[in-house]
């Protein structure tokens, strides 16, 4: 399973020469409402098995959660379902707030 740091993801998102990844946030709605990486799409972890067909298959998917544990579990699940191009955001939104966007609320 590939992993990416928040700084690497921020650089990727700013690089117009690279296709942007799909940002899949697997936290709960209340967590997502509190803070989220711009452009990310909410699909709570428990809903992923029923909604996996909604995910794109033509771009890389960066899976996001609070610290990186749930997102790793979802990425491994999706990989077993045949998805390719899955990347876990190491440290999740917590590290994003610390390393990329200090103005982002933390919990």
Torsion 89-71-73-87 (CA) sign: negative
Closest CA to 11 of 76, 96, 92, 103: 96
Domains, the chain, in order of start with CATH, read: 2-99 (3.40.250.10)
**Cα–Cα distance for residue pair 77/86, rounded to 1 Å:** 10
- List all residues 6 or more positions away from 43 whose beta carbon is below 8 Å from its beta carbon: 24, 25, 26, 51, 54, 55
pLDDT above 90 covers a percentage of the chain that reads: 99
Chain segment 49-59, per-residue pLDDT in tens: 999 999 999 99
Answer whether residue 29 shows pLDDT above 90: yes
Strand ranges in 5-104 using DSSP code E only, listed in sequence order: 22-25, 41-42, 61-64, 86-89
- In tens, the pLDDT along 59-94 reads 999 999 999 999 999 999 999 999 999 999 999 999
Q: Which of 26, 65, 93, 97 is catalytic?
A: 65
Q: Which residues pair with 37 in a beta bridge?
A: none
Residue 1 has pLDDT above 90, yes or no: no
What pLDDT sits at residue 98? 97
pTM, to two decimals: 0.97
35 part of the active site: no
């Amino acid at each position: 399973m590939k992993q990416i740091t928040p700084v690497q993801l921020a650089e990727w998102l700013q690089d117009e020469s690279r296709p942007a990844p799909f940002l899949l946030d697997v936290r709960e709605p209340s967590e997502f409402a509190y803070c989220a990486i711009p452009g990310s799409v909410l699909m709570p972890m428990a809903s992923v098995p029923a909604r996996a067909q909604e995910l794109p298959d033509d771009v890389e998917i960066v899976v996001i959660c609070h610290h990186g544990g749930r997102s790793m579990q979802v990425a491994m699940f999706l990989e077993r379902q045949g998805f390719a191009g899955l990347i876990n955001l190491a440290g999740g939104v917590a590290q994003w707030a610390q390393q990329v966007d200090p103005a982002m609320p933390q919990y």
